[in-house]
Structure 1
Amino acid sequence: MIAGVDVEPSAIRVDGLAPGDTAARPVVVRNDSGVPVVVRAQHADDGDLLSGTAPLAVTYRWDGAAGWCAGDPVVDAGREVELTLVVTMPADAGDEYQGAVGSSVLTLGATQHVGCGAGGGALAAPPGGAGLALTGAQGGTLLLAVAVLTGTWVALTRARRRRRATG
């Protein structure tokens, strides 16, 4: 990250999700660098909980950007944006996810905003499509650790099966 661009919190733990549950967690990216920056994200998942036929879904959205550059938020100097992480356990997740764990790592990189290619400045709204590759100073890893509590999962799975068998 460029000096003066901070991410808070830098790690989030989400646990106890049952099938069909969703959890949202806010993260603030603050730009005290003195120059406008573009914040880019790279996302990687690892672990049994994030693979298989009905894996945990981890998505994110940006709120409060000054504009957009190739789908990435522009954060003016002295301002902040909120990144909301959304974690969803599919309703059809089966017993293979009992006790499963995983991690989802979102690596944020900030570079000075000097324009968005041939068009120059930032766009008013995020366009569709992929963002640009990370360039310049980068870093700032946000680790989202996720785990399912076995006891809760087993109890909910058994209750769901009983409802299916009787209904």
Structure 2
Amino acid sequence: MEFSIITVCYNAITTIEKTILSVKNQSFEDYEHIIIDGGSTDGTLGVIDKYRDNFAVIISEPDNGIYDAMNKGISLSKGKFIAMLNADDFYLDNVLESVYLGIQRSGESVGVIYYGNLVVFNEKKEDGYVVKPLPLSQLANFMCLNHPTCFVSKDLYQMRYNIMYKSAADQ
């Protein structure tokens, strides 16, 4: 298994289907999609259930926040690389294939993070703009990598997110 894509959600009925379809419709198929839901009450689970056959794992239960949910997904993942695709994010076409080809070209699969640009759209989904990652030398000062663009080798996730923190739990 090349990729484990973890989607954490809670009451995401307005966005979860686009997230699911963006993974389901990828041309590259050597991945598992894991859904970790915090016990949604708004119909999110109905949308997830509609695509049940596309998921390796679905968990829906109360948790201790987003980082606890991410840790659950990491623990269940089987892929060489782990990607976090939150319930209001989506992949553009052929992202998994492009990342896979990049990994093959580099030959590195241990102790690495592959990442790229993030495209941000306004609420009307018009006029997206590109957020380029900052140099990694800035990592101590700024959040220069965006979760939806990162593919992290599984060995780097031996340490989990610290659920004590509401943000920056991966420091």
TM-score, structure 2 as length reference:
0.24
TM norm structure 1: 0.24
More helix by share: 2
Q: Relative CO higher for 1 or 2, CA cutoff 8 Å, sep ≥ 6?
A: 1
Whose strand proportion is higher, 1 or 2? 1
